C-alpha cells in the first residue's frame, strides 16, 4: 500500500505529535508499505527531500510563520501530485493545510484518515484568538471531508468539543510507544553525571518548555517536596530554549528555576535521543505530567516511564489521566493543583515498591507494529468501501 502521511512538523522537530507520526511511519515502512511524509521545511537547513528509516520525507518551503504554525504557498501544488500517487492519505491534526489535502483525497477517490492529536488552545490574546479560530475552522473542514478520524482514547474523545461532533466516524487507537534497548552501563553513567544517587528522590519531567505543560505547577510543588526531602532534584528532559511561541512563558519562570539550579535542585538536560531516554528513566523516582489544558491528550512519556517501572503523577485531564488509570502506575491529581501534586509525589516516594507492572506486556500493547496493524485494517476497510 502507498501511504501518504501529511503533517505540519516532522522530525527532527520534537513533540508528541511528531514522535507519534515518525514511529508509525517507520512501522508502516517495516511492514512493507511505501510511505511518504509530506511536511513543512520549518528549518531552511533541512533537506527538501530525504529517505529516513525507509520513509520518503518531502519538505515544502515555508514563506511565513504564524504563531506556532507556518504558511507554505506551494503546499497545495505538492499535495495534489502526492495525493494522486498514493492509495491512502493520513493526516495529523491540528494542521492548517488539512482540509485542502482532504479535499484532494475526496476528488481523487482516495480514503482520507485524520489522527487528531489534541485540541488547540493558545495562550490568551487577540492574535492568538484569531489563530485559534482559523485553525478550529480548518480542522472542522478537514473533519467533514475525512472518511474517518482516529484519536488516542475514548476518554479524550468524550471531552473534546471537536471530536464529539464526529462520533459516527471515530475510533480510538492507543498510540505507538517504543524505546531502544538500553546500552550497558548507560544508566550508571547518567547517574554519575547527574548525581542521582546522592540527590534523591529524583523527579523527572519530559516535555517542551511550554505553557500547556504546567511547569509552574511543579515549581510551586517543589518547596513542599524539599521540606520533606531536602536533597530532591528535578531533571527536565526536552527543549527549554527558543521554544516556538513560548519566550514570554520562559522569561516569567526562569528566575525561579535559576534559584533551584544554583542549589543543584533543577537540571535542564535538553533534548535527549531515544537511546539517552533509556538512561534517563531508570534514574527517576517519579515522572510528572502536570499539563494544564486539552493541548495535551495523552502524554506518551508516561508509558515510556512505566516501561521502566517508574510511576507517574499526572493531571486529571481527559486522556492524560488514562495511562495511570489503565495501568495503576502512579497518581492522578487535580489540574493545576500544586499542593496535590506535592502530596502525590510524597506518597509515591513513600511506597514506590508498590508501583510495578508487566513491562513486557506493556511494550506489546503499545508496540508501533501493533498500532500499525490497527491502522492497516482501517485503511483496507475504507479502501474496500470506496
pLDDT value at position 120?
A: 74
Q: Is the pLDDT of residue 38 over 90?
A: yes
Q: What is the mean pLDDT of residues 268-279?
A: 95
Among 20-24, 88-92, 381-385, the minimum mean pLDDT is found in: 381-385
Tell how many helices (H) and how many strands (E) occur in the chain: 14, 16
Q: Choose among 147, 224, 216, 219: nearest CA to 384.
A: 147
Q: Choose among 324, 319, 315: nearest CA to 292.
A: 315
Among 60-64, 162-166, 250-254, 322-326, the minimum mean pLDDT is found in: 60-64
Q: Is the pLDDT of residue 124 over 70?
A: no
Q: Which CATH fold topology does 2-176+367-385 show?
A: Rossmann fold (3.40.50)
pLDDT tens digit sequence for 58-78: 999 987 876 666 777 899 999
DSSP 3-state assignment of 10? coil
Cα 196 from Cα 214, distance rounded (Å): 24
Q: What is the mean pLDDT of residues 297-316?
A: 96
Residue whose cell numbers read 511561541? 245
For 319-342, what is the HEC assignment? CCCHHHHHHCCEEEECCCCHHHHH
pLDDT value at position 129?
A: 67
Among 62-66, 88-92, 170-174, 357-361, the minimum mean pLDDT is found in: 62-66
Are the CB atoms for 92 and 9 separated by under 8 Å? no
pLDDT value at position 66?
A: 66
Which secondary-structure segment (H or E) carries 193?
helix 186-194
Task: Quote the Cα angle for 230-235-240, to 5°.
Answer: 130
Are the CB atoms for 69 and 120 separated by under 8 Å? no
pLDDT value at position 134?
A: 78
Cis-peptide into 12, omega within 30 deg: yes
Percent above pLDDT 90 for the chain:
81
pLDDT tens digit sequence for 108-123: 999 999 999 988 766 6
| Mean residue pLDDT across the chain | 93
On the question of a common fold for 2-176+367-385 and 186-364, the answer reads: yes
In sequence order, the 6+-apart residues with CB closer than 8 A to the CB of 279 are 182, 183, 186, 187, 189, 190
**Residue 379, C-alpha cell as written in the block:** 485503511
Q: What is the residue extent of each domain of the chain?
A: 2-176+367-385, 186-364
Q: What is the DSSP letter of 210?
A: -
Place 193 in a pLDDT band, splitting at 50, 70 and 90: very high
Are the CB atoms for 18 and 106 separated by under 8 Å? no
CATH class (in words) of the domain with range 186-364? alpha beta
Amino acid at each position: 500500500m502507498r501511504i501518504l502521511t501529511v503533517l505540519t512538523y516532522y522530525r527532527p522537530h520534537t513533540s508528541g505529535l511528531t514522535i507519534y507520526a515518525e514511529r508509525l511511519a517507520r512501522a508502516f515502512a517495516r511492514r512493507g508499505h511505501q510511505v511518504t511524509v509530506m511536511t513543512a521545511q520549518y528549518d531552511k537547513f533541512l533537506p527538501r527531500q530525504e529517505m529516513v528509516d525507509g520513509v520518503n520525507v518531502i519538505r515544502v518551503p515555508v514563506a511565513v510563520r504564524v504563531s506556532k504554525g507556518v504558511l507554505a504557498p506551494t503546499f497545495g501544488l505538492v499535495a495534489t501530485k502526492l495525493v494522486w500517487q498514493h492509495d491512502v492519505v493520513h493526516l495529523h491534526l491540528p494542521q492548517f493545510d488539512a482540509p485542502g489535502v482532504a479535499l484532494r483525497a475526496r476528488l481523487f477517490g482516495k480514503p482520507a484518515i485524520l489522527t487528531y492529536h489534541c485540541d488547540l488552545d493558545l495562550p490568551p490574546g487577540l492574535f492568538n484568538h484569531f489563530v485559534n479560530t482559523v485553525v478550529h475552522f480548518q480542522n472542522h473542514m478537514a473533519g467533514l471531508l475525512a472518511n474517518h478520524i482516529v484519536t488516542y482514547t475514548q476518554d479524550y474523545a468524550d471531552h473534546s468539543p471537536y471530536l464529539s461532533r464526529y462520533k459516527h466516524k471515530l475510533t480510538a487507537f492507543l498510540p505507538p510507544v517504543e524505546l531502544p534497548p538500553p546500552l550497558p552501563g548507560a544508566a550508571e553513567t547518567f547517574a554519575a553525571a547527574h548525581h542521582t544517587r546522592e540527590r534523591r528522590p529524583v523527579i523527572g519531567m519530559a516535555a517542551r518548555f511550554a505553557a500547556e505543560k504546567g511547569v509552574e505547577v511543579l515549581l510551586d510543588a517543589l518547596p513542599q517536596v524539599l521540606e520533606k526531602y531536602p536533597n530532591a532534584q528535578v531533571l527536565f528532559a526536552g527543549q527549554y530554549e527558543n521554544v516556538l511561541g513560548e519566550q514570554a512563558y520562559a522569561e516569567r519562570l526562569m528566575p525561579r528555576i535559576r534559584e533551584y539550579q544554583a542549589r543543584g535542585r533543577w537540571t535542564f538536560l535538553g533534548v535527549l535521543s531515544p537511546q539517552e531516554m533509556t538512561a534517563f528513566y531508570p534514574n527517576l523516582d517519579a515522572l510528572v505530567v502536570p499539563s494544564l489544558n486539552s493541548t495535551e491528550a495523552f502524554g506518551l512519556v508516561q508509558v515510556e516511564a512505566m516501561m521502566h517501572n517508574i510511576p507517574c503523577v499526572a493531571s486529571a485531564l481527559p486522556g492524560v489521566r488514562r495511562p495511570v488509570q489503565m495501568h495503576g502506575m502512579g497518581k492522578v491529581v487535580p489540574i493545576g493543583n500544586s499542593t496535590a501534586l506535592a502530596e502525590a509525589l510524597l506518597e509515591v516516594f513513600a511506597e514506590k515498591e508498590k508501583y510495578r507492572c508487566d513491562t513486557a506486556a506493556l511494550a506489546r500493547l503499545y508496540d508501533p507494529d501493533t498500532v500499525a496493524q490497527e491502522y492497516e485494517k482501517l485503511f483496507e476497510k475504507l479502501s474496500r468501501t470506496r
